[in-house]
Amino acid sequence: EGVGCVVFDEFHERHLDGDLALALARRVQLEAREDLRIVVLSATIDPGPVAAFLGDAAVLESEGRLFPVETLHQPARGREPLEEQVVRAVEDVVGRLASGSEDVGDMGRDSLVFLPGVGEIRRCAEALAGTAARHGLELQQLYGDLDAKQQDAVLAERPAGAPRRIVLATNLAESSVTLHGIGAVIDSGLMRQPRLDAGVGIDRLELVRIPMESVRQRAGRAGRTGPGLNLRLWSPLEERGAREGIEPEVARVDLSGAWLSLLDFGEPDPAAFAWFERPPEATAELASELLAALGAVDGEPGAWRL
């Protein structure tokens, strides 16, 4: 009541909560609130399947302005540690941004380095200390568990005369926030994502290669205010073998929490719920078995209640 529209932003990230909320909103729209409007926003997703799920919804396209971004590749040298590879990349990028040549003259002054986790961020920060001191650079870190004041300091607009900076970030900086003054993106091509370990029945974080959809999203951070650079820490050959789209969480994580949410909503058979994309049958069965084993539900499968 009192809500006329629900907006799902950055839907291409395909978090479980986003998929669940979209399907619940669609159920409400079909059964109780025909007047409810649902808007799904994304810079990269194929709109066709989402539009079909929403009853042949209208598709609106907005051509955002993005400056040209030059793509470079710097694969690892043998078994070179990631932090050493990042130091080489920073030295290269800092030189380009400071060269003053015509092709980089309008670029932002700062560099954004995408890393898979806090451990890699801290190791790279330690390895870059000498480079930062030599070039007069400020090193900053950005990740989800960072103190709110520290996050605000990284996200704030830079004052005139502030030193150039290197921001070491997780994929939090891929689409969720805006960083000002970025002229170059250095991409490790890695991230950590949760995946259900069927042997123990819980999610664990695994290190994976990001899909090309995310590569392009990250690269765009360098072209927001002027021409930019995107230095990728892998070879063009590796890139040709990369997968294209993001694997949705509903296909790879523990569903027991979502099952409880659906039961609380009044859905007696979560396995039959009308998802945007249905979860794998094996994963759905594991969630049902876990809730039954924990005594979290009463009744028989297909007619459960909390």
* Whole-number pLDDT of residue 17: 95
Rg (CA), the chain: 22
pLDDT above 80 (res 306): no
Q: What percent of the chain has pLDDT over 90?
A: 56
* C-alpha distances in Å from residue 279, one per residue of 251, 252, 259, 276: 5, 8, 11, 9
- Average pLDDT, integer, range 135-149: 89
Query: Residues 44, 216: contact at Cβ < 8 Å?
Result: yes
pLDDT above 50 (res 101): no
The structure tokens listed for 106 are 């309008």
Q: What percent of the chain has pLDDT over 70?
A: 94
Q: Tell me 280's DSSP state.
A: P
Q: What is the pTM of this model?
A: 0.85
Tens digits of residue pLDDT in 5-32: 999 998 988 999 999 999 999 999 999 9
- Average pLDDT, integer, range 71-82: 94
**Banded model confidence at residue 225, pLDDT cuts 50, 70, 90:** confident
Mean pLDDT of the chain: 88
Query: Residues 14, 249: contact at Cβ < 8 Å?
Result: yes
* Whole-number pLDDT of residue 103: 47
Tens digits of residue pLDDT in 177-189: 778 888 899 999 9
pLDDT above 50 (res 299): yes
